[in-house]
């Protein structure tokens, strides 16, 4: 199907969709499986001298035809671009009054590359209309028609001002938008290179004992900095530098790769001057490109133009659609791939303008379809030999492939915005608090009323409230833009089109529906199919809201929570803490879309729907470690001073306080992590560190391949017999408690997650268990946390003595549980 056959339908109101018929654009708008191969030409540009005023000649470079056509993989679009380009290269136009006079154009009038967009439009505005020397008619040099001032029926503007020459015709609109968006694209690419160079310079200057990784979304140069893993137990790679991969990468760690051994993140004491300088540089870049986008947006067709819509607003040039699809979409795609809502909010000067563009485009009937169409992005580039006989022209072959469209990319951000708003609203809910205290409470608090205990220092609160309002204004703007696009698509394409689009959009984990049939394993399923099924399921359920409250008989009481931090949570009921609310909202936005999900290790969160500061986490043990595939549960509370102070974290998978799974995971639930302030070393960076860092630290540094090395002073024991014995004991505890115990009595609210995790992994678990059984040293499980190399193992056997009797008993019992689990109906899982 040729794309511009569809464009004619778009512009023809007689074929406007009602939403009842079959969507004719399914193959183009909803399939990203397209590939287009195109040959692009690179030419050496020439220079030209223009005269914006008689005494001010300007020597400028001309845009080449190859540059004008660049980035366009569609045959129909290429024809439109070439047609406009060719028409405006003619040296003159005939006078429309048929006086046989020609009006000359300055070479490069439309295609000269000026230092900035304002100079370009200023020159055109003063030169695009000329007076015929024969009949004195004012003629537009773009379209060759009479200018408005020469027409007998010349329209009048409501504000009394003369019409703008640059809105005279559709040809001008197509050329000005094309040149303007070319400048936007070029500036954006230069800024990305500038930011990358700054980052490279920063990396080169870093102390190798402190590793930082700047996390960027799309082309964002500075979003936030995650301090590297470092503690008293940290080990180094062969080149002396620690290795840490943010996000899901570390979860996919291979068995043969040494795991990071640290127990926390750096922070706190680091010099912030470089970060502040980088943020200032980013702000300057954002201001420049945001200003340019704003200037170019004026020329987008808009029926809401003030004070009056222009002719080209009603009948835009066909190349307008082409320019927006190929140049603006490339920039917007990079910006919308930023995975940090907080970073976007901090860069509102740019992102508010981006949202203005999206709404303006979606609100025009001829352009709205772009919002639902995949973006064709270049994937491979092959440079070809120069054309025979030419030293100035060479060609390159590009393969374009379909990728997520603007509405799909915006939805990923909208999910974060909804999570932030939900978190903010939750912290703002006023809980009814009883004012009468028991005698015990009075003794404990000195008789102070509850309201007094909840009172916080109001100094600085106004500033905090302003920051809070800033974020939620931005969140609501994102959601309003998504709604505006949906409304425009419904109006122009019909309800069926919009429904099809929504079905293809990413879903928030807490909103995603799960077809239970998708979780039914075929006996003939391949390992690759099982992995895909597992990761798809985990992505749907890794972040969920749930009810963690315990009903009270007295409805006036502050609710209790299913958390070891119940008293802390109840103590903050109804508290107004803007800084904390803002921090929690940002945290939830990130967690809702950035939790690591991988076959090898994943993180699942459950957040109380009424009190989002009450959280439970489940981490599955990374592959290649003694913790592999076990389920480890934690209670988390974001306290009164979050995120100026770390969260409270308690480990729950302890076999009722009997097992210590790691030198940093105590049997009483204490989590030793420098990031939490429970271990020596660089700690929490106020206002910068996050709960996500804590979770990934636990996943990759505590649940590591040689937990024995996490004990201070034992770093040199890598690969020793003592370390091997310790890991063997951990494996026994894992099978006994983190696998069998959790499956037998699943901790709330992870019952469905645990059952589905073990059911989908049953095949690989049997292989893993057999391997672990072969590796076992025959010693019964020990409740001792750390076995010093010079001490005998203190055993607390659960099974009968004998070679491998304990581990074999655990393995056999757990395999039987897996057999029973696989027989269960899929409908019991979610």
Per-residue pLDDT tens digits for 323-378: 998 899 989 999 998 878 888 888 989 999 999 999 999 999 888 888 988 888 88
DSSP string, 674-702: GGGTSSSSS---TTT--HHHHHHHIIIII
Distance CA 351, CA 349 (A): 6
Buried b (16+ CB within 10 A) or exposed e, 716-740: ebeeeebbebbbbbbbbbbbbbbbb
Query: Which residue, among 800, 765, 775, has the nearest Cα to 725 in the 3D structure?
Result: 775
Token pair, residue 589, equals 């936005």
Q: What is the predicted pLDDT for the residue at 17?
A: 40
Q: What is the predicted pLDDT for the residue at 446?
A: 39
The conformation of residue 615, written as its DSSP 8-state character, comes to E
Q: What is the predicted pLDDT for the residue at 114?
A: 95
CA 424 to chain centre: 20
The conformation of residue 228, written as its DSSP 8-state character, comes to P
Residue 688: CB atoms within 10 A of its CB come to 18
Distance CA 495, CA 474 (A): 28
Is the bond into 716 cis (omega within 30 degrees of 0)? Answer: no
Token pair, residue 406, equals 């603007």
Query: Which residue, among 128, 196, 194, 215, has the nearest Cα to 163 in the 3D structure?
Result: 128
Under 8 Å between Cβ of 685 and 694: no
Buried b (16+ CB within 10 A) or exposed e, 532-557: ebbbebbbbbbbbbbebbeeeeeeee
Give the DSSP H or E segment for 450: helix 450-454
The torsion region of residue 804 among left (phi > 0), alpha (psi -120 to 50) and beta comes to left
DSSP string, 772-826: HHHH--SPPP---S---TTSPP----SS-SSTTHHHHHHHHHHHHHHHHHHHS-G
Task: Name, in order, each residue with C-beta under 8 angstroms of 163's C-beta and a sequence gap of 6 or more.
Answer: 148, 154, 155, 157, 310
Q: What is the predicted pLDDT for the residue at 273?
A: 59
C-alpha dist (Å) from residue 232 to 213, 266, 684, 730: 20, 11, 15, 22
DSSP string, 546-560: E--EE--SSTTSPPE
Is the bond into 307 cis (omega within 30 degrees of 0)? Answer: yes
Taking only Cα atoms into account, the Rg of the chain, rounded to an integer number of angstroms, comes to: 32
Distance CA 185, CA 328 (A): 7
Q: What is the predicted pLDDT for the residue at 707?
A: 92
Phi, psi values for residue 678, rounded to 5°: -105, 15
Residue 100: CB atoms within 10 A of its CB come to 9
* Domain 507-828 superfamily per CATH: Ubiquitin Conjugating Enzyme (3.10.110.10)
Task: Name, in order, each residue with C-beta under 8 angstroms of 22's C-beta and a sequence gap of 6 or more.
Answer: 496
Residue 411: CB atoms within 10 A of its CB come to 21
Q: What is the predicted pLDDT for the residue at 644?
A: 92
Under 8 Å between Cβ of 177 and 121: no
Within the chain, all domains assigned CATH 3.10.110.10 are found at: 507-828
The conformation of residue 368, written as its DSSP 8-state character, comes to G
Distance CA 571, CA 442 (A): 14
Query: Which residue, among 423, 421, 454, has the nearest Cα to 437 in the 3D structure?
Result: 454
C-alpha angle 435-440-444 in degrees, rounded to nearest 5: 85
Task: Name, in order, each residue with C-beta under 8 angstroms of 431's C-beta and a sequence gap of 6 or more.
Answer: 558, 559, 573, 574
C-alpha dist (Å) from residue 374 to 21, 331, 365, 410, 413: 22, 14, 18, 13, 17
C-alpha dist (Å) from residue 364 to 19, 179, 410, 621: 18, 21, 18, 51
Distance CA 797, CA 737 (A): 14
Distance CA 558, CA 561 (A): 10
Query: Which residue, among 693, 577, 633, 680, has the nearest Cα to 250 in the 3D structure?
Result: 693
Q: What is the predicted pLDDT for the residue at 625?
A: 96
Token pair, residue 110, equals 């439309």
Find where tokens 């639902």 sit.
Answer: 372
Residue 303: CB atoms within 10 A of its CB come to 11
C-alpha angle 17-23-25 in degrees, rounded to nearest 5: 100
C-alpha dist (Å) from residue 187 to 190, 193, 286, 293, 434: 5, 10, 11, 10, 59
Residues of the chain with pLDDT under 70: 1-31, 149-160, 202-275, 385-392, 427-461, 512-518, 552-556, 783-804, 825-830
Under 8 Å between Cβ of 405 and 371: yes
Q: What is the predicted pLDDT for the residue at 205?
A: 63
Q: In 474-551, at which residue ranges do the beta strands (DSSP E only) sit? A: 543-546, 549-550
Query: Which residue, among 416, 631, 456, has the nearest Cα to 538 in the 3D structure?
Result: 631
C-alpha dist (Å) from residue 255 to 27, 233, 531, 731: 42, 21, 17, 15
The conformation of residue 375, written as its DSSP 8-state character, comes to E
Q: What is the predicted pLDDT for the residue at 394?
A: 79
Token pair, residue 591, equals 């967690």
C-alpha angle 252-712-271 in degrees, rounded to nearest 5: 75
> Please, how many CA atoms are within 13 Å of residue 425, restricted to the half-sphere of its CB?
10
**Strand pairing partners for 61?**
47, 113
3-state class percentages of the chain: helix first, strand second, coil last, to nearest 5? 45, 10, 40
Q: What is the predicted pLDDT for the residue at 488?
A: 92
Q: Give tens-digit pLDDT for 62-79.
A: 999 989 998 888 888 889
Find where tokens 């990358």 sit.
Answer: 196
Distance CA 21, CA 497 (A): 9
Q: 3-state class of 264 per DSSP?
A: coil
Q: What is the predicted pLDDT for the residue at 607?
A: 94
Distance CA 569, CA 585 (A): 17
Q: 3-state class of 211 per DSSP?
A: coil
Q: Would you say how long the chain is, in residues?
A: 830
- For the four alpha carbons of 495, 500, 505 and 511, in that order, the dihedral sign comes to positive
> Please, how many CA atoms are within 13 Å of residue 145, restricted to the half-sphere of its CB?
10
> Please, how many CA atoms are within 13 Å of residue 290, restricted to the half-sphere of its CB?
18
Give the DSSP H or E segment for 471: helix 461-493
Task: Name, in order, each residue with C-beta under 8 angstroms of 486's C-beta and a sequence gap of 6 or more.
Answer: 407, 498, 502
Residue 94: CB atoms within 10 A of its CB come to 15
Q: What is the predicted pLDDT for the residue at 306?
A: 85
Under 8 Å between Cβ of 155 and 141: no
Find where tokens 């969160």 sit.
Answer: 605
Residues acting as catalytic residues:
672
């Amino acid at each position: 199907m040729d794309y511009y056959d569809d464009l004619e339908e778009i512009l023809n109101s007689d074929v406007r969709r009602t939403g009842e018929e079959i969507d004719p654009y399914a193959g183009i708008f909803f399939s990203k499986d397209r590939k287009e191969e195109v040959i692009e030409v690179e030419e050496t540009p020439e220079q030209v001298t223009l005269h914006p005023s008689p005494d001010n000649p300007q020597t400028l470079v001309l845009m080449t035809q190859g540059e004008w056509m660049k980035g366009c993989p569609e045959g129909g679009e290429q024809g439109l671009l070439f047609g406009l380009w060719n028409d405006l290269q003619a040296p003159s136009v005939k006078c429309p009054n048929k006086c046989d006079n020609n009006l000359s154009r300055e070479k490069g009038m439309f295609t000269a590359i000026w230092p900035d967009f304002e100079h370009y439009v200023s020159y055109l505005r003063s030169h695009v209309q000329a007076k015929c020397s024969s009949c004195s008619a004012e003629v537009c040099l773009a379209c060759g028609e009479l200018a408005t001032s020469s027409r007998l029926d010349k329209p009048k503007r409501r504000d009394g001002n003369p019409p703008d020459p640059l809105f005279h015709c559709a040809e001008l609109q197509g050329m000005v938008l094309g040149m303007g968006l070319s400048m936007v694209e070029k500036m954006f690419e230069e800024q990305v290179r500038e930011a990358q160079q700054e980052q490279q310079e920063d990396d080169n200057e870093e102390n190798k004992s402190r590793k930082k990784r700047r996390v960027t979304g799309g082309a964002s140069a500075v979003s936030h900095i995650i301090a590297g893993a470092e503690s008293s137990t940290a080990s180094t790679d062969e080149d002396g530098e620690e290795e840490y991969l943010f996000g899901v990468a570390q979860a996919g760690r291979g068995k043969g790769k040494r795991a990071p051994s640290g127990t926390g993140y750096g922070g706190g004491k680091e010099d912030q001057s470089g970060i502040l300088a980088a943020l200032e540089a980013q702000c300057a870049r954002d201001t420049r490109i945001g200003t340019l986008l704003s200037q170019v947006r004026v020329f987008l067709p808009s029926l809401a133009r003030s004070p009056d819509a222009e002719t080209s607003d009603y009948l835009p040039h066909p190349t307008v659609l082409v320019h927006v699809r190929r140049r603006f979409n490339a920039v917007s795609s990079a910006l919308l791939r930023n995975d940090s809502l907080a970073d976007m909010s901090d860069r509102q000067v740019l992102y508010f303008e981006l949202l203005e563009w999206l709404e303006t485009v979606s609100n025009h009937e001829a352009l709205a379809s772009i919002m639902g169409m995949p973006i064709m992005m270049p994937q491979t580039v092959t440079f070809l030999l120069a054309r025979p006989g030419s030293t100035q022209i060479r060609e390159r072959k590009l393969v374009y492939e379909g990728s997520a469209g603007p509405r799909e990319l915006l939805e990923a951000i909208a999910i974060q915005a909804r999570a932030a708003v939900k978190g903010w609203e939750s912290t703002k809910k006023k809980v009814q608090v009883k004012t009468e205290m028991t005698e015990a409470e009075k003794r404990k608090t000195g008789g102070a009323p509850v309201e007094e205990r909840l009172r916080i220092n109001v100094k600085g609160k106004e500033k905090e409230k302003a920051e809070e309002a800033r974020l939620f204004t931005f969140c609501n703007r994102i959601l309003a833009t998504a709604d505006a696009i949906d409304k425009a698509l419904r109006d122009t394409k019909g309800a069926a089109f919009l429904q099809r689009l929504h079905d293809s959009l990413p879903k928030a984990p807490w909103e995603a529906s799960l077809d239970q049939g998708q979780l039914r394993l075929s006996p003939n399923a391949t390992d690759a199919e099982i992995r895909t099924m597992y990761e798809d399921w985990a992505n749907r359920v890794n972040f969920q809201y749930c009810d963690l409250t315990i009903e009270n008989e007295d409805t006036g009481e502050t609710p209790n929570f299913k958390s070891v931090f119940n008293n802390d949570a109840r103590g903050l009921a109804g508290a107004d803490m803007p800084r904390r609310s803002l921090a929690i909202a940002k945290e939830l936005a990130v967690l809702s879309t950035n939790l690591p999900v991988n076959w090898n290790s994943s993180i699942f969160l459950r957040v109380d729907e009424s009190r989002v500061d009450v959280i439970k986490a489940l981490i599955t043990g990374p592959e290649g470690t003694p913790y592999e595939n076990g389920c480890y549960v934690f209670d988390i509370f974001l306290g009164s001073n979050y995120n100026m102070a770390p969260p409270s974290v308690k480990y729950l998978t302890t076999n009722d306080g009997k097992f210590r799974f790691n030198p940093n995971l105590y049997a009483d639930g204490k989590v030793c992590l420098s990031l939490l302030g429970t271990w020596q070393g660089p700690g929490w960076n106020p206002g910068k560190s996050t709960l996500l860092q804590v979770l990934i630290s636990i996943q990759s540094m505590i649940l590591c391949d040689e937990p024995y090395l996490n004990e201070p002073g034992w770093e040199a024991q890598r690969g020793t017999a003592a370390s091997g014995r310790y890991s063997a004991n951990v494996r026994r505890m894992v099978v006994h408690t983190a696998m069998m115990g959790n499956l037998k009595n699943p901790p709330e609210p992870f019952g469905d997650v645990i059952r589905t995790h073990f059911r989908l992994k049953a095949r690989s678990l049997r292989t893993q268990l057999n391997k672990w059984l072969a590796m076992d040293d025959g010693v019964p499980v020990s409740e001792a946390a750390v076995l010093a190399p010079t001490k005998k193992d203190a055993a607390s056997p659960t099974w009968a003595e004998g070679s491998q009797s304990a581990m074999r008993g655990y393995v056999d019992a757990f395999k039987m549980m897996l057999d029973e689990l696989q027989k269960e109906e899929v409908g019991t899982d979610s």
